[in-house]
Amino acid sequence: MNIEIVKAGIPEAQVTLREVTEETVGEICELSDTLTEPKKSMVAPNAVSIAQAYFCEYAWFQAIYADETPVGFIMLYDNPEKPEYFLWRMMIAEPHHGKGFGRRAVELLIEYVKTRPEAKELFVSSVPGEGSPEGFYRRLGFEPTGQIDEREVVMKLVLDNPAESV
């Protein structure tokens, strides 16, 4: 999965989602150490997310790269049997905030989810307050559902799935 980031018409970095491997897991886990408060308290450390993923059959997770530099982590709850698709975790290392990497990573995730069985919606939740990513998700088209799950505002994005309109 590749997509270019373009600023002022100049391609700056190729953003990709890649498997976390034995060789890269340490570096991906260390990205969480770059976050400062209040953002640090808004997302679980990548090490915790990876550990949870290994005990959840519906977890799909990837490292986020800008060219060959790891810049973040993304995890999806992917249950095609129901179907339920939930952006479970997403973090970008603080030195890379504001560069468009998070937006591109979520766009790549959305494209992936559209390939999943009966994918009509993608959900996400966020803790409200200072440092909350709620505005980021709203700019990507997510809308609040009115639900609160463990203090988190649940939002959804209705997917335009061209495969279903044929």
Express each pLDDT in 8-24 by its tens digit: 333 479 999 999 999 99
Is there a contact between 70 and 27 (Cβ–Cβ < 8 Å)?
yes
Domain span at residue 9 reads 2-165
Q: Is the pLDDT of residue 161 over 70?
A: no
Cα-flanking dihedrals φ and ψ of residue 106, to 5°? -65, -40
Domain count, the chain: 1
Q: Is the pTM of this model over 0.75?
A: yes
Q: What is the CATH number of the domain that holds 63?
A: 3.40.630.30
Task: Note the pLDDT tens digit of each residue in 87-129.
Answer: 999 999 999 999 999 999 999 999 999 999 999 999 999 988 8
